[in-house]
């Protein structure tokens, strides 16, 4: 069985990635790993930003908000967080490119942040489910 990840924009495939080592030509796989090394710092910031439940909840709350802008106090009230937790986690999300400070105590979801959060959280969850199904076969 061949398993692949495919990204499609406007009906056109823009990325196809086999998810099994057997489906990768050796040289192509080595090139992909080499290119990935060059992106480790950026990938690390993204994974670091999304590697905590509180930051995931904050991003979900921002993405679900109609204006995609929330205040420091909104995070405290709506997610039952203390000020230190909001400050530390909003800093991590900002460093990862997910949040933009748009005013005193006001945070907005960056365009990158919105797209990356949706792609990462939803896609990874579905990939995990698919991998678990394969294990059960």
Which residues make Cβ contacts (< 8 Å) with residue 89, sequence separation at least 6?
52, 54, 55, 58, 81
Per-residue pLDDT tens digits for 60-88: 999 998 888 899 999 999 999 999 999 99
Provide the mean pLDDT of the chain. Answer: 89
**Nearest CA to 105 among 74, 135, 137?**
74
**Residue reference for tokens 């000020």:** 83
For residue 48, pLDDT over 80 is answered with: yes
Helix (H, G, I), strand (E, B) or coil at 121: helix
The residues spanned by each domain of the chain are: 25-137
Classified by CATH at the fold level, domain 25-137 comes out as: Arc Repressor Mutant, subunit A (1.10.10)
pTM of the model: 0.74
Express each pLDDT in 11-44 by its tens digit.
Answer: 999 988 888 888 888 999 899 888 888 888 888 8
């Amino acid at each position: 069985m061949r398993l692949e990840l495919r990204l499609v924009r406007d009906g056109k495939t823009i990325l196809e990635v086999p998810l099994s080592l057997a489906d990768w030509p050796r040289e192509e796989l080595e090139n992909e790993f080499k290119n990935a090394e060059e992106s480790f710092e950026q990938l690390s910031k993204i994974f670091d930003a999304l590697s905590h439940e509180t930051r995931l909840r904050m991003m979900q709350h921002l993405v679900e908000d109609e204006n995609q802008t929330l205040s420091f106090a909104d995070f405290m009230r709506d997610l039952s967080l203390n000020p230190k937790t909001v400050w530390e986690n909003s800093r991590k999300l900002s460093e990862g490119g997910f949040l933009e400070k748009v005013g005193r105590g006001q945070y907005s979801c960056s365009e990158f942040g919105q797209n990356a959060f949706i792609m990462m959280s939803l896609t990874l969850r579905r990939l995990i489910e698919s991998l678990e199904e394969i294990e059960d076969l």
